[in-house]
Homo-oligomer: A and B are copies of this chain.
Amino acid sequence: MDNITIKMLAKELNLSTAAISKALRDSHEISTPTKQRVQELASRLNYIPNAYAGSLRRRKSKTIAVVLPEVADSFFSLAINGIEAIAEEKGYHVLIYLTHESLSREQAILKDFQSGRVDGVLMSLTAETANYQHISELHDRDIPLVFFDRVCEEVDTAKITTNDFESSYKATQHLIECGCKRIALLSISNCLSISNKRFEGYEQALKDHHVAYEPINILCENDAVANYTFMQKIMSAPDRPDGVIATVEKLTTDIYLACKELKLTIPNDVKIVSFSNLSSASILSPSLTTVTQPAFEMGKAAAVILFKSLEKKNFTLHDESLIIPSELIIRGSTVLNA
């Protein structure tokens, strides 16, 4: 069965396609009885306008893109939830693109957006992204862009982040207060703004509390097996850390397992804090002290700002920055019987 088009409706009712179109859009140019006839037939035949014909003509696709490193991560999946909630409300469609932390994929994805496929873009950078030309090119084409979490400072647009510096500072301070002397920070990038801010917060806390330990940013791989053996190596060194801050959720399992393997008990031998949104954090063994990011809210806020720019004419996104605070939730991986 072929799709119903405006042409068919026109023929059926002895009207022009123009009249049908105007009637369906409730134009004042069409008389009320005609409108009714048209609408009656359209709904009887279950007429659904072709999405791309309209998009082509209006130069609007009612579609946004979400570009992110991965989806199997509770932060990003919650953020998608927040984005989708708003998009659904506004009647927009959501295209998902995963970079898997690869800059070249990010570049290819963004280049495609110059095809007019999407009206706006929400994105969180790759861990590799140290070069912003592809982003600038998109921005130059006047495609509204909002960053969330992993933002690009160099591009003049809206950014939704959480208080990475303070969160990291607080997490570090908490470990210091729990008696840790050798605190290590695990991260996955030294390009990312969030990685840098988290490192700076950690560094500052060490300094402010006169901890002698040299701050170190331990760079992990994008591969679970590699990370597990890497953790084992780190945790079996003679001057192994007695406190660890994992800035990425997926490193949690690796470090827990490595400690188990090495018979290091948490929190006695090592204390751990993770940046994580795992709902199972409270039932881990031991329960995990987390910096819990407002993932859903961040996604939602990013979408809200993007739609503001899509719906209002003459509203261009400025270099504004919305910071939604994270929460340090203290549990058993840093404090006994928490």
List of B residues within 8 angstroms of A77 by Cβ: 71-73, 77
Is there an interface contact between B285 and A284, defined as CB atoms closer than 8 Å? yes
**What copy number does this chain have within its complex?**
2
Shortest A315–chain B CB gap in Å is 19
In the complex formed, the residue of B with least CB distance to A285 is B285
A50 in the interface, Cβ–Cβ < 8 Å? yes
Contacts of A260 in B (CB 8 A): 283
- A3 contact from B105, B141, B278, Cβ within 8 A: B141
Contact flags A1-35 to B (C-beta < 8 A → 1, else 0): 10100000000000000000000000000000000
Complex: chain B residue closest to A49, CB-CB? B115
Q: Which residues of B contact A287 (CB under 8 A)?
A: 285
Cβ of A287 to closest chain B Cβ, rounded Å: 7
Stretch at the interface among A51-59, A305-313, A317-325: A51-59
Q: Does A262 have its Cβ within 8 Å of any Cβ on chain B?
A: no
A140-170 vs B: 1/0 string, CB under 8 Å? Answer: 1110000000000000000000000000000
Q: Which residues of B contact A105 (CB under 8 A)?
A: 88
Contact across chains for A52 and B61 when beta carbons are under 8 A apart: yes
- Please name the residue on chain B nearest to A50 by beta carbon: B116
Instruction: Report if A141-B1 is in contact (Cβ < 8 Å); known contacts: A74-B72, A115-B48, A283-B284.
Output: yes
Cross-chain contact of A81 among B70, B97, B142 (Cβ < 8 A): B70
| A282 close to B (CB within 8 Å) | yes
Which of A171-179, A207-215, A249-257 lies at the interface with chain B? A249-257
Q: Is A93 an interface residue (CB 8 A)?
A: yes
Name the B residues within 8 Å of A256 (CB-CB).
Answer: 283
Q: Does B48 lie within 8 Å of A112, measured CB to CB? A: yes
The answer to the question of A106 belonging to the interface, with a C-beta cut-off of 8 Å to chain B, is no
B115, A253: Cβ atoms closer than 8 Å: no
Q: Can you spell out 8 A-B residue pairs with CB atoms less than 8 angstroms apart?
A: A46-B114, A50-B116, A52-B61, A63-B95, A80-B96, A88-B105, A250-B279, A253-B280
